[in-house]
Chain A
Amino acid sequence: MKSFDYFEPHSLEEAVGLQQQGQGRGCWLAGGTDLLVQMKEHVRQPGLVINLKKIRGLDDFHFDSVTGLRLGALVTAREVETSPLAHQHYAGLARACTDFASIQVRNRATVVGNICRASPSADTLPPLLADDASLCIHGPRGTRTVALEGFCTAPGRTILAPDEIVTHVLVPAPAPGTAKVYLKHGRREQMELATVGVAVSLTMSRGRCSRLGIVLGAVAPTPLRVPTAEALLLDEEPTRDRVHAAAAAAAQACQPISDVRASAGYRRQMVEVLTRRALVQALEVLR
């Protein structure tokens, strides 16, 4: 790693001030599981590294059955994985945080860091998007809340300005009759980056599908929500044929690439299989 200056601000204001003094040459450090690797591989060479871990209030992990889930920027994947609440209400996110790297990494990696890294294969993004999550962002001009949808703009890119910090991710409370599934496809059982990830968040009321989020990971520059697939099931009875048609529509909609992990064609086929399996699993949970 190239040398850099290092700071541990105690407040958001101090953090933003440091970044401004550094003229945007700084990087926020949360768990560091992406940042350190990128610095070692010379993908990024920041002049200063600003560690967020001493900032108060960023470690809250709060669930309320009305307002939903509020995760601070310092909450780690391991905390979500080991939270019974998360498993109960946000099973997709909890699964994503379990089928994620190793315990060593999950003890450091934050959910918000995973979001801000904006990797096409980031595991927490599909379930969060399927749940209509939003982000609280703190910057020099105060705090704003934005939808997670649209936050990632390209691989590694987001709408954040360099002096903005994501302080929290907010996820609405699940309606009764909701099931959530995240399925990750990789060669190994653990320690895998997704070749395809599929998140489904499905609410049934009176035998029909009243709300549905289907989001695909690792098959487009940013995680891809597929309204064309969702539309085939919304307000309908989820029959076998409709589930299959939705899965096929998801496969139609994705824009995978070929790389060392898998070919585009195979990824597309896996989108279909995994979407179908995820929908079937969600429906089984509700049965």
Chain B
Amino acid sequence: MTAFSIIGKSVKRNDLIDKVTGSAKYVADMQFPGLLYGKTLRSNVAHARILRIDASRALALPGVKAVLTHSDVPRVLHAGSPHPRSASLSCDQYILDDKVRFWGESVAVVAATSEEIAEEALGLIQVEYELLPAVFTVEEALRPGAPLVHDLGPGGNQVLDPVTCQRGDVEKGFQEADLILEGDYEGGRPVPAYMEPNVCTCQWDPTGGLTVWISTQTSFMVRGIMAEVLGLPLNKVRVLVDHMGGGFGAKQDLFQTEFLCALLARKTGRPVRMEFTREETFLGGRTRHPARIWLKQGFKKDGTITARQARIVYTSGAYGSHGPGVTNVGTTALASLYRCENIHVVGSCVYTNTPIAGAFRGFGVVQAYYALDIQMDEAAVALGMDPAELKLRNAVREGDVAPSGHPLIGHGLEDCIRRGKEEVGWEALRSRERDEHGPVRRGWGLGCEMHGSSAYPGIKEQGNAIVKMNEDGTVVLFTGTAGLGTGTHTVQAQIVAEEIGVTFESVSVVHGDTDAVPWDIGAFASHTTYMGGRVAQMAAAEVKAQLVARAALQQAVDPSQIEVRDGVVSVKGTDRSVSVREVMMPKRGIPAPQFVGSATYHPTKSYSFAAHFVEVAVDIETGAVKVLQVVPVHEVGKVIHPVAAAGQIEGGIQQGIGHTLYEDFQIDLKTGRSLNPNFVDYKMPLFMDMPTIRTVLLETAPDPGGPWGAKGIGEDPIVAIGPAIANAIYDAIGVRFHHYPIKPEQVLAALQEREGGAQ
């Protein structure tokens, strides 16, 4: 194809008009006659057996319609994130159990005629616990004889058997090294903090069908597991998702609330809504996996990496959720990014009595590449090299084996580093004169990453789409992809319009109704454009073929002579043209056709790349770090909607700055209590804390698996920004941090320690 008509243009997103006018209906905005409000009683102990629950006083409160405890709900063991095609699941959850495994776990639920009454009722439920010894850290959980969080799984407090990724001979590699670096790295516990608290509404119809309105990234997974646990056929569970207020990965799980909401609705015969409070999004939501990484690498004098050995331990919290996926993806990621022949990496994941870690943008890779990229920076210093040069020299490239086992396509990472160097004038920055006056020191850092689009090979993915053309030439796309805010429905409509050759405005999108749209695995793993976009393109191509055939017949030419563009059908090499509408219209007694295209796509995986160049300012008297500017360079194969793509990058950078410098969900290590489950003390960067961001998008390594080569972008930015900041802090003050979040008082303590050492 020559020039694009729609791809690469920032068309008006089709979901935004509702959002800017306030008319977009999120689940909590929907009114239902007779609606009841459900609320959850959460445990105030971290590990205990429930001896007795007395809900009689709550039930006696006027307005309370039902209370459910573990003895009132089906006891079905299920996975918190039951991806139907996942290779590794941890089946370790009940709807409600007679045990609690973390502070804040659901113990009972109430449905009442108002939120206030439901809340008051919670205070009237008495729970008697038998306390059990608990483990809050990896050390405690792995100690021989440690209390067990579950009596399932491979034993000990392991969520899964350790994952090993090996090639070559690391011992030999280390023997060949001129320099060996070894270090411990640690990632904290940030949370996604989407602005819309988790919410669902359930209603049963007289035929025994259940309708669920829910804020989820994975409506078909919700349907599947709810049907299974509640014993219903799939056609009796209808899941509806229209607008949702962010998810960032975490809204791939079920939060027990969904089942409880359905059961409360069944018991009361009325619609029930359960909406988390902000505090509950911390306690009952999902966090990133805290991680410990031991990493050792060998280098030749010229910077070549001779060996890489690592152990990475993820903390899963009280349930497995995405632990297996995160462990696999994060562990195998350590075998890539920077080339190395001799690799031995072992990843594991451990249960503790803490809130549940789940999927969150960057999925295990944030932690892994934070360690790897910082250690590359350390190696550059030790070798007396420019870190950008060292990273360029070792950057993975065309033909190298990716974490998924595939050969990589193109030179995306090298392109990002080179372009970024030019953008910021890296050479000049490296040799600039340092301003040592006053308390502020400035520094520049580079952080690199790569991230897969799709969860392959961990999940054998499948995308589906149906496209139909109406008799006036307009088009409807049916997709199961959830619109969690990224603009994916616009992007898919652009793809369909471009593929068929009609205008963007003539394509509308039906989504968010499991009874109406084809099955979808969910919106996650940076795959909505790569997989959802590609399959929409495939279905559109089928419609186009039918359109071309009809036009060819009408024009009495060979189909190869027909060209369709911007809603106009023309015959090549002639000035004959008609509109798509005219082609479709009934003619001479021949009715208008119904063109339907459908497609199924089983993608493998592509990799996107990024290099972030970051400038920070460090106040050496207070330890405060401020990010001044970021130049993110991303290689994404093909840019479909530039504004939406840049928006993903800027948003990812906000979250990444947050987890690197500010955000820390803290757990009391004596009791397991959450110390800051609120926005007062869980600090995300706000308007005034954000740097200027100058985004650069590259299309140098398109992947044939995506539409016109397009790859994912959702997760990449949050991975690269962290090490870039840590490396910039080193450049500013010469102090190396191996953990996040890097807090001002740690910066100050490190500076003072160094000074003490120097004296």
Contact = CB atoms under 8 A, between A and B. Distances in A.
Direct contact of A and B (CB under 8 A): yes
A266 B745 CA distance: 6
Contacts of A185: 622
The dominant DSSP class at the A interface is loop
Contacts of A263: 745
A260 B676 contact: yes
B593 interface: no
Interface in A1-27: 1-3
A266 B622 CA distance: 9
Given A2-B120, A260-B675, A263-B745, A187 B683 contact: yes
A273 interface: yes
Contact of B622 (A191, A193, A270): A270
A210 interface: no
A188 B683 contact: yes
A265 B683 CA distance: 21
B201 to A, nearest CB: 23
Interface residues of B, number: 23
A187 B662 contact: yes
A191 B676 CA distance: 16
Contact of B686 (A189, A260, A265): A189
A266 B748 contact: yes
A277 to B, nearest CB: 8
Interface string A249-278: 000000000001111011001100100000
A190 interface: yes
B621 interface: yes
Interface string B351-392: 000000000000000000000000000000000000000000
Nearest to B623: A266
Nearest to B661: A187
B685 A188 contact: yes
B683 A190 contact: no
A189 B688 CA distance: 6
Contacts of A193: 680
A233 to B, nearest CB: 20
B621 A260 contact: no
A59 B107 CA distance: 49
B688 A190 contact: yes
A190 B689 CA distance: 8
Interface in A180-201: 185, 187-193
A285 to B, nearest CB: 18
Nearest to A262: B745
A21 B676 CA distance: 39
A193 B682 CA distance: 12
Contacts of A190: 686-688
A135 to B, nearest CB: 27
Contacts of B744: 187, 266
A185 B624 CA distance: 10
Contacts of A260: 666, 675-676, 681
A265 B666 CA distance: 19
A260 B744 CA distance: 13
A262 B745 CA distance: 8
A188 B120 contact: no
A189 B617 CA distance: 14
B622 A273 contact: yes
B18 interface: no
B116 interface: yes
Nearest to B680: A193
Nearest to B626: A189
Interface in B672-718: 675-676, 680-681, 683, 685-689
Interface of A: 1-3, 185, 187-193, 260-263, 265-266, 269-270, 273
Given A2-B120, A188-B662, 4 more contacts: A188-B689, A190-B687, A260-B675, A260-B676
Q: Which 7 A-B pairs have the closest CB atoms?
A: A189-B688, A266-B745, A273-B621, A260-B676, A190-B688, A260-B675, A260-B681
9 contacts: A2-B116, A2-B120, A187-B624, A262-B745, A263-B745, A265-B745, A266-B745, A266-B749, A270-B622
